[in-house]
Structure 1
Amino acid sequence: MAHFTSHGLRRKGRKPRIALYAAIGLLFAMLPALSSSTASAATSVTLTLRINNVLQIENPDTAAGDGDYFPEVRIGDGPLERRGVIEDDVFSPGWQFTQTVNLPAGQSSVPILIRLWDEDSGPTEGGDDKMDISPQDDDVDLDLVYYDTVEGNSWSGDLLNSLTVGQGDGDHGFPSNNDGRKARIDFSISNGTSVDIDGDGIPDAVEQQDAVYGPDGFKVADLVGLDPCRKSVVVQIDYMSDSGPTGHSHEPDPNAIGEVKAAFDAAPVDAVSPCPYPGDHKATGMDFIHVRGKAIGEQPVMNFEDEDLGDDYRSARNANFNFSLAIYAHYAIFAHDLRAGKDDSGQCCEPERGHNKDFLVTLGSWTGGVGTTREQSGSIMHELGHALGLDHGGSDDTNYKPNYLSVMNYSFDPDGIPTGPGSAPDRLDYSRASLPTLKKTALLEPNGIGDGTDMTSWTAPDRSPQFGRGNAALNWNNNVDPTTMLPVIDPNPVDVNINAGDDASTQRTELTGHDDWHSLKFRAAAAQTANGAGVSHGPDIGFDTAQKRRTAFHDFYDPDVTVTKTVDKTDAKSGDTLGYTVQVKNVGKGTATAVGLTDTFPDATTATRSLPNLGPSATATASFTYLVPCATEDGTKLTNKATATATNLDGGPEANTTNNTGTATTTVHAPRLTLTKKASPTVNAGEAITSTITYANTGSDGASEVTVTDTLPAGVYYSPALDLGTGPKPNSVTLNADGTRTLVWNVGDVPATSGDRTIVFTARPTLLSLPGATHINKVSVSYKSAGGACTFAPVTASAQTSITAVTPSRLPLLSTLWGLRTDLRTAEVLARVQATDTRFDGADNSAANGTLSQQEASAVLFLPVTQPRTVRAELLATMFNLASRRINAGTAVNTLTIRGLGLNTVGDAVRYAQATLAQPPTLSNLIRYTNTTLVLTEINSGVAERY
């Protein structure tokens, strides 16, 4: 392989010196051979010389157009060979010459002669003329010496500083009568292996020196970043700029250049490995080298078609694009607009011969008047792609192919290939592989396009834009479920786009994929594809078209589900069943998938439902029920909340979730009863306790089956006959086994907000109650809802009454006197006795009625000569003495008999007597009855009391 040593390779950073190279060339011309100690051991070498580019500097045929050029080359002692004639002023002929040279022992140098002729074969043209391609005076041929040394391979001679360029110095008329003029050629030499190891057309020597030099030895352009083992693309970009006060400039954004560099750096193209040159070399990717051009005056329009505007372009190129760079680089201008009133993004390629890989980027009618960073970088990639031989379908002009993932495809120009909804930015790229062919009449939807996770796009037969991941099922005809579809007949999504103005002149039934990165045709003069023309097109994608695609993509993945919730009862009663209806509607532009609904009931429990996919404007409904708990407070607002969740067709989250919840509210109306109880705070034993029960329904719903239950403690007596209250009287009175009494009022229905209702009754504590004793009276109210569906917990209240002391008169009367003194047996006295002992009620053989009458008392006191009548009479007399406050239950008593019975107070004696009467008056109980009679007689006669 050709290796440029110090004889032929410029050291990086060293200023070129023409004289030095001329001296080196002269030195080598004088040396017939290197010594055997430094010569290569090879006895033969096969050299290939390739003329990559020709520039006509002076026209030898001014009156008859450009010259007609052909070369003559001799390598070593081989024949002088010619190649075919080409007419042009600048061209890349690709003339190639190969010769095997036998080297005598110890010789390693090979002389090489290069001539360039202008063919003048007509009868009046005077014969062919040599063009001057040598920088030496009175020398028009390029004389070189090639060396094969132990240090590598090199050449020297009539060289310019770029090492691969020969250019004449203007030896007019030499040799005599020669009409040749000054010209320039670019060439490369290899000994069987290319001197452009990576095949990008830029010689390794140029790539290693990171710069291009002109014939005067000065640097034309920095090309920092070139790697001889990695393919490179070089682009000089001039730009329009307004020098006025607005400072408007179309100079590419450095970030846009960075994005293009990154795209090339990530290209799936293997570099030459191992790389024979020193330094760090990447294993894959390509280099994009941006040469910052010059500012040109702002003008509203520039294009190739209009003769004047095309001249504007060519004038700028000729003035700013140095030929020394042009043999390696593309040229572009960032102009304002391509056509007046149009929003075209650019055009490739400039049609003039030799320049058909130059292009325009025109974003004056795009974002901000210059395009966003991505609009700039994508437009560079697209137009450069045309210059590198790519069409809108890769290898053909079928645009919008879903299996062609490239910025060349209008579906991805200039934004790049989407990697997912919401991903920013999309991947700026040429296609990385040739995807399987799609046959439009036999599309298998589950197969997708066989790509990875990139997004693709197409248009369904209903003209709706569609998008999907390349490795997933694709719903080509926008119908049913793509994962279960059978082959479909001609739903082709591309047809609509083709008919809408695609580049293709005919309908193609098969859509082929294309591998862009491995198909690029490099411009550089030494590249094998240098003569391959770029793909010329009319104006490229407009801003409005790109915006519509962006909007369609956004809308496709932008479902927006809303939730509306209603309830069948906005006002309800306790125990009612509420019916909820939830409507989920997709008000977005994209289909909603994985639609789920969670209904949260007022008690925080939840129910979930899965709903079908919802296309735009589609709805789904769900129903739920909820039982209003009986314990719900009146006036409570029960809120039921339904929340929907959804994803877009790519499984990503829904963008707008602010409207995903709906609520419905019901006001609960329930009865709520209140209850209070008041009672006489103090009374004397046997006297009436006045109780007041107050209840009300404060709720907004009526109550049913309202029942008031008052429980009198043991020792407190109630009978309706003795009830002095204003009522109403209880519906039932029940004496319980524990001595308590239950009074029940069956109130029935109580309407909402009824106001206070009262029950006032009296009851009497027994005469045996001692001072300081307390009686706690409890009351409750139970009720149901108006319809009876709910039974509520009873409401309770209580009141307390304390017993106070009355000073006794100390004048008890015997039973005989009480039998005679009916005047002393007042109704109050009789009531007090009845409250203490009810055994005397009905003593006259009348029906017991809850009160003690004079007749019943007289019957008990009349001639009590036998037992148990004697004890009954004495007990009643004692009761009368207690009721008339002659003695108290707590009055101390003491006689021989009383002490023998272990009694201490009048109350003890009364209870003993009551217990005696509970036993039959048989012989076995004779003594007890006798003692009881004696004790009561002692008390009633006043003998036993001790005050």
Structure 2
Amino acid sequence: MSRKFRFQRLAIACMLGGVASAASADVVYGDQAREAFAARQALLAGILDASPKGKVSADTLFQNSFEVAASSQQNCDSDRDGDGLPDCVETNTGRFVSVSDTGTDPDHADTDGDGLRDGEEVLGAETGLDLPALGVSPLRRDLLIEYDWFDSSYDCGPHSQRPTAAIAARVAAMFASAPVLNPDGSSGINVIQDYGQGGLFVGGNRIEGHDAILPGSLDATFHQIKNENFDPARLGYFRYVMMPHRYNGGSSSSGYAEIVGDDAIVSLYCQNSESNVARTIAHEVGHLLGLHHGGFEECNNKPNYNSLMNYRYQFQGVDTQCDAQGDFAADDFSRGDRLSLDENALREPQGVCGNPAIDWNRDGTLQEGLAMDLNPNDAATCGTAMRKLDDFDDWANLTFAGVLDFKGQLKSVQSETGCAGAPVH
């Protein structure tokens, strides 16, 4: 664990007095980790609420000679939540009809909680970005991503790291299936991806003039390349994913990302199959949305944390059979429905779901009270400790505050992480 990462985690825990000694600072376990995560989420929610956009006048909304009743004129002169929409058009019905009947909540600037203000989702961004044309809605969570990629001949001959339409569709399908309820009654998260496919989506492009093996991670070179290839009008709206051959001078890591932020790297070198790339994109975007490798903590390889954020399932797919083994066809974040596992007293007949049983030590018998370390290879975080392993509801705990990273408001709660290398098939 890097000193920077350790100190950032310690700072989060200390908001609650969560560490008692230097020995416990390296890893925040159990309830302390949950409390630290909850404290960060509350702080991020406050950052979103404290970031009002500019206001749009009623004249703009009603420029087509729309007749406003005298009794509602006062509401059209006020904007209680500062989202850029007059109160008189925010009808709070959960149904968008038009710019004069938005269905949004006049007391919440971001009705759907996706980090984009209602006024900008209805009328377009102050930077000139036409968000409605891109497909956003003020009543359904939207997640916008731009991919810029490299082509190279390293390691395996000429190839491109550009995501394909099939990869983008797979990412979109996973988020669309999320058990997340939106104000309009729909479920799921709408992912809008620009990989240079044409039409309105011409921001994603091949990166020229730089080596396809980045010298570092989210360093000066990364930001120089981003500045050359990413429209500044998209800052605060799009997450940015750079796709080199490798990063950090040739690392075999599959990616790197801010935990709560807007910048990530996906680097699959020659292991850039559809499955590997789609799942790694989801994994790195999960970091941008605030998730750790253990959900609320860095404790990795937990067999009961059923998420692509978990190295155990990142490339294998999540567990659909309750046997703690990945299903190659399944992409998902955890839904928080697995049992907790006490490594000091494992109950093999209950497995991870209550049924079927799992013979953890493979001795042919099912034991009550087995003591066994279930993730011994994760020594950097929790693999050397006998402890309780908890699942986590990823989907219910995403934060969309990362789009504000360019404003410098997230540094007190933000960390960075590198991720596992892709398996060789």
Residue in structure 2 matching 1:416, options 298, 311, 317: 317
**TM-aligned CA deviation for residue 341 of structure 1:** 4.6
Aligned residue for 1:541? 420
Q: Distance in 2 between matches of 1:450 and 1:498?
A: 23
Residue in structure 1 matching 2:81, options 48, 68, 75: 48
Q: Distance in 2 between matches of 1:191 and 1:405?
A: 35
**TM-aligned CA deviation for residue 303 of structure 1:** 5.2
> Is the CA contact 1:221–1:325 (under 8 Å) kept in the aligned structure 2?
no
Q: Distance in 2 between matches of 1:288 and 1:44?
A: 34
For residues 125-524 of structure 1, the aligned pairs below 5 Å read 147-149=86-88, 192-208=106-122, 214=127, 217=128, 219=129, 224-242=134-152, 248-274=159-185, 283-292=186-195, 293-297=204-208, 299-302=211-214, 304-305=216-217, 310-349=219-258, 356-364=261-269, 366-367=270-271, 371-419=272-320, 425-433=328-336, 435-450=338-353, 471-482=355-366, 485-488=367-370, 490-494=371-375, 496-499=376-379, 502-504=380-382, 507=385, 509-522=387-400, 523-524=402-403
**TM-aligned CA deviation for residue 487 of structure 1:** 2.0
Q: Distance in 1 between matches of 2:397 and 2:289?
A: 8
1:4 to 1:271, Cα distance in 2 relative to 1, 3 A: farther
Aligned residue for 1:39? 72
Q: Distance in 2 between matches of 1:229 and 1:362?
A: 34
> Is the CA contact 1:375–1:415 (under 8 Å) kept in the aligned structure 2?
no
Q: Distance in 2 between matches of 1:6 and 1:198?
A: 22
Q: Secondary structure at 2:206's aligned position in 1?
A: strand
> Is the CA contact 2:292–2:309 (under 8 Å) kept in the aligned structure 1?
yes
Q: Distance in 2 between matches of 1:382 and 1:535?
A: 15
**TM-aligned CA deviation for residue 224 of structure 1:** 3.1
Normalization by structure 1: what TM-score?
0.33
Q: Secondary structure at 2:279's aligned position in 1?
A: helix
For residues 19-38 of structure 1, the aligned pairs below 5 Å read 37=70
Q: Distance in 1 between matches of 2:385 and 2:342?
A: 12
1:504 to 1:491, Cα distance in 2 relative to 1, 3 A: closer
> Is the CA contact 1:498–1:507 (under 8 Å) kept in the aligned structure 2?
no
1:357 to 1:148, Cα distance in 2 relative to 1, 3 A: closer
Query: Which letter maps to 1:389?
Result: G
Q: Distance in 2 between matches of 1:191 and 1:400?
A: 41
**TM-aligned CA deviation for residue 249 of structure 1:** 1.9
**TM-aligned CA deviation for residue 252 of structure 1:** 0.9
Query: Which letter maps to 1:314?
Result: H
For residues 775-814 of structure 1, the aligned pairs below 5 Å read none
Q: Distance in 2 between matches of 1:9 and 1:414?
A: 48
1:243 to 1:340, Cα distance in 2 relative to 1, 3 A: closer
Q: Distance in 2 between matches of 1:35 and 1:423?
A: 58
Q: Distance in 2 between matches of 1:332 and 1:256?
A: 14
1:9 to 1:386, Cα distance in 2 relative to 1, 3 A: farther
Q: Secondary structure at 1:332's aligned position in 2?
A: strand
> Is the CA contact 1:4–1:152 (under 8 Å) kept in the aligned structure 2?
no
1:223 to 1:287, Cα distance in 2 relative to 1, 3 A: farther
Q: Distance in 1 between matches of 2:350 and 2:164?
A: 40
Aligned residue for 1:670? none
> Is the CA contact 1:334–1:362 (under 8 Å) kept in the aligned structure 2?
yes
For residues 890-901 of structure 1, the aligned pairs below 5 Å read none
For residues 71-110 of structure 1, the aligned pairs below 5 Å read none
Q: Secondary structure at 1:536's aligned position in 2?
A: strand
For residues 441-840 of structure 1, the aligned pairs below 5 Å read 441-450=344-353, 471-482=355-366, 485-488=367-370, 490-494=371-375, 496-499=376-379, 502-504=380-382, 507=385, 509-522=387-400, 523-525=402-404, 531=410, 533-537=413-417, 539-543=418-422, 546-547=423-424
> Is the CA contact 1:48–1:192 (under 8 Å) kept in the aligned structure 2?
yes
Query: Which letter maps to 1:474?
Result: I
**TM-aligned CA deviation for residue 284 of structure 1:** 0.9
Q: Distance in 2 between matches of 1:255 and 1:534?
A: 32
Q: Distance in 2 between matches of 1:228 and 1:148?
A: 15
For residues 830-869 of structure 1, the aligned pairs below 5 Å read none
Aligned residue for 1:879? none
> Is the CA contact 1:220–1:325 (under 8 Å) kept in the aligned structure 2?
no
Q: Secondary structure at 2:378's aligned position in 1?
A: helix
Q: Secondary structure at 1:524's aligned position in 2?
A: helix
**TM-aligned CA deviation for residue 413 of structure 1:** 1.1
**TM-aligned CA deviation for residue 195 of structure 1:** 3.3
Q: Secondary structure at 2:134's aligned position in 1?
A: coil
Q: Distance in 2 between matches of 1:319 and 1:508?
A: 48
Q: Secondary structure at 1:236's aligned position in 2?
A: strand
Query: Which letter maps to 2:121?
Result: E
**TM-aligned CA deviation for residue 9 of structure 1:** 5.2
1:43 to 1:316, Cα distance in 2 relative to 1, 3 A: closer
1:513 to 1:381, Cα distance in 2 relative to 1, 3 A: same
Structure 2: gaps (5+ residues): 1-52, 92-98, 196-203
1:237 to 1:404, Cα distance in 2 relative to 1, 3 A: same
Normalization by structure 2: what TM-score?
0.69
Query: Which letter maps to 1:382?
Result: H
Q: Distance in 2 between matches of 1:286 and 1:524?
A: 16
Q: Secondary structure at 1:472's aligned position in 2?
A: coil
**TM-aligned CA deviation for residue 349 of structure 1:** 2.3
CA deviation profile, 1:403-452 (whole Å, cap 9, x unmatched): 1000010001134214369997421111112533211111111111127x
Q: CA RMSD in A?
A: 3.9
1:232 to 1:415, Cα distance in 2 relative to 1, 3 A: farther
**TM-aligned CA deviation for residue 521 of structure 1:** 1.2
**TM-aligned CA deviation for residue 268 of structure 1:** 0.7
Q: Distance in 1 between matches of 2:134 and 2:359?
A: 48
Query: Which letter maps to 1:486?
Result: E
Identical columns (%): 25
1:505 to 1:46, Cα distance in 2 relative to 1, 3 A: farther
Q: Distance in 1 between matches of 2:76 and 2:150?
A: 58
1:445 to 1:511, Cα distance in 2 relative to 1, 3 A: same
Name which one, 1 or 2, has greater alpha-carbon Rg.
Answer: 1
Q: Secondary structure at 1:359's aligned position in 2?
A: strand
User: Relative contact order (C-alpha < 8 Å, sep 6+): which is higher?
Assistant: 2
Q: Secondary structure at 1:296's aligned position in 2?
A: coil
**TM-aligned CA deviation for residue 520 of structure 1:** 0.8
Q: Distance in 2 between matches of 1:510 and 1:391?
A: 17
> Is the CA contact 1:333–1:360 (under 8 Å) kept in the aligned structure 2?
yes
Q: Secondary structure at 2:72's aligned position in 1?
A: coil
> Is the CA contact 1:45–1:191 (under 8 Å) kept in the aligned structure 2?
no
> Is the CA contact 1:382–1:414 (under 8 Å) kept in the aligned structure 2?
no
Aligned residue for 2:49? none
**TM-aligned CA deviation for residue 504 of structure 1:** 3.9
> Is the CA contact 1:359–1:387 (under 8 Å) kept in the aligned structure 2?
yes
Residue-pair matches, total: 341
1:148 to 1:384, Cα distance in 2 relative to 1, 3 A: closer
Q: Distance in 2 between matches of 1:148 and 1:344?
A: 49
Query: Which letter maps to 1:250?
Result: Q
> Is the CA contact 1:202–1:525 (under 8 Å) kept in the aligned structure 2?
no
> Is the CA contact 1:418–1:426 (under 8 Å) kept in the aligned structure 2?
no
